[in-house]
Amino acid sequence: MLGWVAWVEESLTPEGVSYRWGIVPGSLHYAARRATNRRETENRAAPVGMTVSGVVRFGMTNSGAGRREMKLTLVLADAGVKAAASRRTPHWLWYGIRGMGVWQAWVLSLVAVVALGCKSGGVPAAPAAGQPFMSAVAGNPPAVVEDAPAPEKMDGFDGKRAYEQVVKQVSFGPRPAGSAALGQLQNYLETELKSYGCAVETDSFSADTPAGRLAMKNFLVKIPGEKPGIILLGTHYDTKRLENFVGADDGGSSTGVMLEIARLLCGQKQAGKYAVWIAFFDGEEAVNKEWVDPDNRYGSREMAAKLANSGDLPKVKAFILADLVGGKNPHFLRDGESTKWLKDFVWGVAGKLGYGNIFESAPTNFGGDDHYSFTARHVPSADIMDLDTRDVPYWHTPEDAMDKISARTLAIVGHTILESVKELQQK
């Protein structure tokens, strides 16, 4: 069965409360469809009665490639219904729709219309605190990948596989540090990496955050080498703590790239080479809205400190970090906080591969990312990230969904990193 994303929206209308819900194949733009009056309706007392005397509308819209929406609109005319409906309907309907094929969901939706019309307060109210984030997804939405270059041309890097890894991550819904959804992704990452034959070290720790003490987990893939020295690669896999935010590009894209790199490198012999380690960091995102130290980089700070304690940190020859590397029209500028020789090296490799129009020479400054945890400890580090507002207007908004991701960009970044590792092995 194909997986589908479901969304439910409630809003006040002059006629009463309007509900819209739908199933969005391969897309997550349900996220933007959130009732603006949510707080208002939730604060009202639940009424005992419920009637439907409005209209039921449904239809289908096409809004571009691969983005079809089916909509069902139910308008409740009785103003007294507002609170009960707004508290109850989304939750049970939501869970009902999750995991279903579209036609089953349609049937359920129609049953729901009838049930809403007939029942009087028969559905128990869901606890308000039970669902801080709308996690909306079931299975793998059908992935439309048309632009992935052939792996043979990319050192074996399969952009389509990397893309599907982003789809998989997004399918867990919003994944902030400490959430159950992130726990599901952690299980997936560990299982997936082990299936490639990777040796994976897991570090569970807890961090004091503005939201209290949160359990976090870093993963470190270790591909052993014969030369003394380590080439470190990294990504964060948590997503920003924002409602309806699934971080396809921010968190998902770089993690998809690193999974694909791990798949390729864990199977290779490292005779006469440096070790390659691949870090998957938890807790990169600030818990608060703003990025203010130390509320950010919880995972990379932890790993850098532990590698310093173990004596491994000075062995790290180079750390290449990726973050927001899946956009459709990327421009990777040279970050001022990255180590000069390493960013010149990586950007030079990209230029030789023909990606000079994407890896540009212009400078930028991100204001913070996981490499700061390593540059602070004098590890040569370079961050590949597109935070240019021209390219990522969806940054830290619910619009950061699968429709923003290009398999081609993932492959270009993966190819550049693989080739950089290969050339660093000669140094």
CB of 269 to Zn ion, least distance (A): 36
85 with 76: CB under 8 angstroms?
A: yes
39-70 burial: b if 16+ Cβ within 10 Å, else e = eebeeeebbeebebebebeeeeeeeeebbbbb
- Between 185 and 224, how does the x/- string for binding to Zn ion read (CB under 5 A)? ----------------------------------------
Binding span for Zn ion by CB under 5 A among 4-12, 131-139, 236-244, 414-422? 236-244
**Binding to Zn ion by residue 238, rule CB under 5 A?**
no
CB of 239 to Zn ion, least distance (A): 7
* Residue 398 CA neighbour count, 13 Å, CB half: 17
Binding span for Zn ion by CB under 5 A among 77-85, 169-177, 207-215, 232-240? 232-240
Q: Counting beta carbons within 10 angstroms of the beta carbon of residue 15, is it exposed (0 to 12), middle (13 to 18) or buried (19 or more)?
A: middle
Residue in this structure with the two tokens 């997550």, named with its chain if needed: 28
Instruction: Choose between 353 and 384: whose C-beta lies nearer to Zn ion.
Output: 384
CB of 240 to Zn ion, least distance (A): 5
Binding span for Zn ion by CB under 5 A among 96-104, 135-143, 183-191, 239-247? 239-247
Q: Report the relative pairing of strands 316-323 and 381-385 from DSSP bridges.
A: parallel
Binding span for Zn ion by CB under 5 A among 190-198, 245-253, 297-305, 409-417? 245-253
Q: How far apart are CA 319 and CA 232, in angstroms?
A: 5
CB of 423 to Zn ion, least distance (A): 29
**Binding to Zn ion by residue 250, rule CB under 5 A?**
yes
Residue in this structure with the two tokens 């069965």, named with its chain if needed: 1
Binding span for Zn ion by CB under 5 A among 37-45, 108-116, 247-255, 414-422? 247-255
CB of 366 to Zn ion, least distance (A): 10
Q: How far apart are CA 321 and CA 49, in angstroms?
A: 56
Q: How far apart are CA 149 and CA 414, in angstroms?
A: 11
Residue count, binding to Zn ion (CB under 5 A): 2
What are the angstrom distances between the C-alpha of 422 and each of 266, 274, 285, 311?
14, 10, 30, 25
Which residues lie closer than 8 Å to 387 by C-beta, 6 or more apart?
Answer: 324, 364, 366, 395
Instruction: Choose between 164 and 238: whose C-beta lies nearer to Zn ion.
Output: 238
Instruction: Choose between 91 and 301: whose C-beta lies nearer to Zn ion.
Output: 301
- Of 172, 7, 171, 179, residue with least CA distance to 89: 7
CB of 222 to Zn ion, least distance (A): 27
Instruction: Choose between 151 and 173: whose C-beta lies nearer to Zn ion.
Output: 173
Instruction: Choose between 335 and 419: whose C-beta lies nearer to Zn ion.
Output: 335
- Among all residues, whose Cβ is closest to Zn ion? 250
CB of 53 to Zn ion, least distance (A): 45
CB of 294 to Zn ion, least distance (A): 16
Q: Provide the 3-class DSSP secondary structure of residue 96.
A: helix
Residues in touch with Zn ion (CB under 5 A):
240, 250
